[in-house]
Structure 1
Amino acid sequence: MRRSIPHTEEHVLYRRIALAALIVAGSVHGSLAAADPARCRELIRKYETDKARLSAIEISLSLFAAANADCINLVTELLDHGASVDARDRLGARPLSHAARSGHLAMVDLLLARGAPVDARNLAGSTALYFAAERGHVAIVQRLLDRGADVNLTGRSGASPVAAAAYAGRDMVVRMLLAHGADGRKADDTGKPPVVYAAAGGQLGIVKQLLAREIDVNARYANDLTLLMWAAGPDETVPEAQALEVVTYLLEGGAKVDDRDARGRTALMIAAEGNHPAIARTLLAHGADPALADKAGKHAADLTILSALREELTPR
């Protein structure tokens, strides 16, 4: 079992846009160069060399690259000479989203002061707040919230900023978004609400936050999976000890140990298939029945490749 917020070509295209700007635009000139960090100097030099010949598209490319690189003086220069805070890249994102995603608070402040629309969305629906939440940029999340950003506008696949933060394990960001009215129960287009991503990601702090908002610990999600099942079959990058903390918390909170999903599988079967012996033993200690079979007739012992775990799971 793997959690997933589907991705688009955003990351590759952002890099291409920045590279294109370095080639076709650029920037640096006396006072500008003195004030900006070294990584901005080539952009500024090229901009000063080519600005008389730049098209509106090339100026926008320069603006996106400067926002990504946190070149405050260059962005100021571009905006003063006609660049638009409402310019869009190939994915529909504005400069504010570039700055928020890159973690540049001063750039975010500049763009907002120049009238950047705080809730502008890219083609997938993602806002600057979504990007900042996903990346865990706490100060930027706070600034956008202070400026009235909508906490419930969804991004790719219908995932909300709080879902993106839960998926990425951004505990503090989740807390901030919930405090500002984020809907912690809303499922995305795949049928998973934020708490599912937190459970599958072994994020105990976030699971606790979300369950405290009157979410049923035994609720069913897509394919009849429960939180315990998601926690018992965590994302492959999650250490078993970390996932075990969530499993234990859910069991102690009343999770039903032998509930079945659409395939007839229990949390024990899922843990066995994922080869998680510590989780399987904890489930057994809480009364999980290893004699149960799924709809294909397989028992938990049939699903693991670990011989020692298979022995423990084989009904006597």
Structure 2
Amino acid sequence: MRHQPLLAGAALWLACLAPAAPALAADASTCDSLTARYEAKRAELEPPQVSAALFAAADDGCDALATRLLDAGASVAARDRTGGTALTHAARGGHDGMIVLLARHGAEVDERNVQGSTPLYVAVEQNRFKAAGALVALGATVNTPGRAGVTPLSAAAYNGNARLVDLLLSHGAAPRTADASGKTPILYAAARGFTPVVMRLLAAGTDVNAPYGNGLTVLMWAAGYANDVPPDDGVALVTLLLDRGAAIDAHDDRGRTPLMIAAGLGHDEVVDLLMRRGADRTLRDRGGQTAADLAPTEALRAKLASKG
């Protein structure tokens, strides 16, 4: 389907009509206000402006107004400046009823915006469970990637949203698909300490010891968890992976093991766990460094260098 970009005047109408941020649930007063503005301008609106008004209705889940706009000639195929349709707006706002309404009027559920993102990807990225459920029920393709080749499943894994992960897997999402950077869903979850999501992806068939970009395994990503992850979450995930058979002394392309990675980032609790589970402190990376050499603090270096 060809894009139908809006005219410049439509952008001005949308700026006037749309609220600053989409709401999750339709607010009666907001919808009443939008309807009143539409009625005040209805006689002078051109078709592209009517379509622009549909974006505002979709943002706020104003189903009654959207129905009137569609009856007045608003196009479900019209695009905003980012290439998004009214369906994209509804998905971002989490309005499942609006999604069904637009689909009934011919909206294409797999249309992509200028970033390549489908409405399903947008809904998942925004943690909109009901919207995502409505889209997959309407036949949305679950494995179509969004920006940078990131799939909806990877977006759900990054957000740590186990419900969305379950939804997508139950509709055929591929758990091992890599994006443009070589990362798969489980790596996004592992780096952020999301144990429940990692459990689901392992159950879906992800190999706990598979090497990814630069030879990094899931355990290495978990050991090098992001700075905003609570240490207890990192420990819980590393424990799970070890219990599931993750190779404790596997090395990446630099020759670094999970222990070296955890030590280099100062993740003391994970270092303690790996040592208790038998990680080899004497191993050296390709530069000849041990985990102790990589540790950022004297206390951690001493712990790693001790014979206890």
Residue correspondence of structure 1 range 262-281 to structure 2 within 5 A: 262-281=253-272
Counterpart of 2:280 in structure 1: which amino acid? D
TM-score by length of 2: 0.87
Match status 1:312 vs 2:300: no
Structure 2: gaps spanning 5 or more residues = 1-9, 20-25
Counterpart-to-counterpart distance in 2, 1:101 and 1:24? 20
Residue correspondence of structure 1 range 1-316 to structure 2 within 5 A: 20-25=12-17, 37-316=28-307
Residue 185 of structure 1 aligns to a residue whose secondary structure is: coil
Deviations 1:254-311 (A, max 9, x none): 1111111122211111111222111111111122122223223332223333332222
8 Å contact kept, 1:40–1:69? yes
Counterpart-to-counterpart distance in 1, 2:259 and 2:114? 41
8 Å contact kept, 2:193–2:225? yes
How many residues are matched? Answer: 292
Aligned to 1:15: none
Change (3 A) 1:191 1:167: same
Question: Deviation of residue 72 (structure 1)?
Answer: 2.1
Counterpart-to-counterpart distance in 2, 1:296 and 1:21? 61
Counterpart-to-counterpart distance in 1, 2:11 and 2:191? 36
Question: Deviation of residue 22 (structure 1)?
Answer: 4.9
Residue 100 of structure 1 aligns to a residue whose secondary structure is: helix
Question: Deviation of residue 24 (structure 1)?
Answer: 4.2
Counterpart-to-counterpart distance in 1, 2:85 and 2:214? 37
Stretch deviating more after TM superposition (174-183 or 58-67): 58-67
Change (3 A) 1:24 1:269: same
Residue 164 of structure 1 aligns to a residue whose secondary structure is: helix
Stretch deviating more after TM superposition (51-60 or 276-285): 51-60
Question: Deviation of residue 227 (structure 1)?
Answer: 0.3
Counterpart-to-counterpart distance in 2, 1:249 and 1:19? 51
Deviations 1:81-103 (A, max 9, x none): 11111111222111112111111
Counterpart-to-counterpart distance in 1, 2:54 and 2:301? 59
Identity of aligned residues (%): 47
Counterpart of 2:170 in structure 1: which amino acid? A
Compare relative contact order (CA 8 Å, sep 6+) and give the higher one, 1 or 2.
1
8 Å contact kept, 1:25–1:54? no
8 Å contact kept, 2:118–2:144? yes
